[in-house]
Amino acid sequence: MGRPSDDDGGARSPRRVTPRPANHRSLSARARRTRADLIAAARIVFERDGYTDSRIVDITALADSSAGTFYTYFEDKEQILKEVLKEAQEEMLHTADFGLGQFDREPAEALRDGLRAYLTFYRDNVRLMLLIEQVAGIDAEFRTSRREREIANHLRNAESIRRWKERDGEVDPKTMLLTVNALSAMTNKMAYNSFAVEGREDFDEVVETVLSLWVMAFGLGAGQLAVDDRR
């Protein structure tokens, strides 16, 4: 959007100041609903068209709103994208530990359920996951913050595995974090190839294949992975 000119036929006109978007924490219930509707519409448009090809007019049309209403709550398309991604990351929180934090269970079973939850989320939200990949490729700030979250998750998961292994008296922390990093990247890439690119693999086979690699890498209850115990 271009800024209004200060000159109008030689006479200086007063500068117009664009109001800053409203602070959503101080909004009325109706305004919060309007803002939420815009974010929901933006997510649909971003997932459908991708970030670079999406337009604010498409977001407002889907939300049955106006451009003026949009700019009441958001400065631009980038700001509403951040809100969409923030909500998405909150939705993904329950899958971040791959079940490794469940110390009251056998590790392989907890890991199986955790990996299934992550892969289910990826499969059911594949357009969102592709949007995240697209934004990470073009936005250095988002790419950095995403990597910081990944590292934090890897540290937690490495600590969980250390605690699992400590019960058996087998702890070798030298390469544990790097191994968790590699296995997490493998899991993400497997999900991408299985659900975003090809979509032909059997879901249960994907879960069990990924699980077996995690278990073999760390020896987490490998005896539980008998074929007749697979679900």
**Could you read off the pLDDT of 110-163 as tens digits, one per residue?**
899 999 999 999 999 999 999 999 999 999 999 999 999 999 999 988 888 888
Q: Which of 85, 105, 125 is the last residue of a domain?
A: 85
Whether residue 11 lies inside any domain: the answer is: no
Do 28 and 139 belong to one domain?
Answer: no
Question: Do 66 and 167 sit in the same domain of this protein?
Answer: no
In total, the chain counts a number of residues equal to 231
- Which CATH number do you get for residue 20? 1.10.10.60
Residue 138 in domain: yes
Q: Are residues 56 and 133 in the same domain?
A: no
Q: Any idea which residue has 């007749």 for tokens?
A: 228
Whether residues 81 and 101 fall in one domain = no
pTM (predicted TM-score): 0.78
Per-residue pLDDT tens digits for 181-225: 999 999 999 999 999 987 778 999 999 999 999 999 888 765 555
Query: In this structure, are 143 and 163 located in the same domain?
Result: yes
Taking the CA of residue 205 as centre, how many other CA atoms within 13 Å lie in the half-sphere pointing to its CB? 6
Check: CB of residue 146 under 8 Å from CB of residue 132.
yes
| Judgement on whether residues 32 and 146 belong to the same structural domain of the protein | no
What is the total count of domains within the chain?
A: 2
- CATH number reported for the structural domain that contains residue 114 in this entry: 1.10.357
**Are 149 and 168 members of one domain?**
yes
**Final residue of a structural domain among 44, 64, 85:** 85
- Examine the domain organization and report whether 74 and 156 are in the same domain: no
- Residues 102 and 78 reside in one and the same domain: no
Identify the residue with better confidence: 106 or 224.
Answer: 106
**Confidence at residue 160, expressed as pLDDT on a 0 to 100 scale:** 87
90 is a domain residue = no
**Non-local CB neighbours of 171 within 8 Å, separated by 6+ positions:** 162, 165
For residue 2, is it within any domain? no
Query: Are 23 and 111 found together in one domain?
Result: no
Q: Cα–Cα distance between 70 and 1 in angstroms, integer?
A: 13
Domain end residue (candidates: 53, 85, 117)? 85
Residue 1 in any domain: the answer is no
Range of the domain at 36: 16-85
Q: What is the pLDDT of residues 47-77, one digit of tens each?
A: 999 999 999 999 999 999 999 999 999 999 9
* d(C-alpha 231, C-alpha 216), whole Å: 19
Query: Is residue 140 located within the same domain as residue 218?
Result: yes
Asked whether residue 4 is assigned to any structural domain, the reply reads: no
Distance CA 48, CA 40 (A): 12
**Residue 56, domain member (yes or no):** yes
Q: Domain for residue 69, yes or no?
A: yes
Instruction: Assess whether 204 and 171 both reside in one domain.
Output: yes
Map tokens 């899991």 to a residue.
Answer: 187
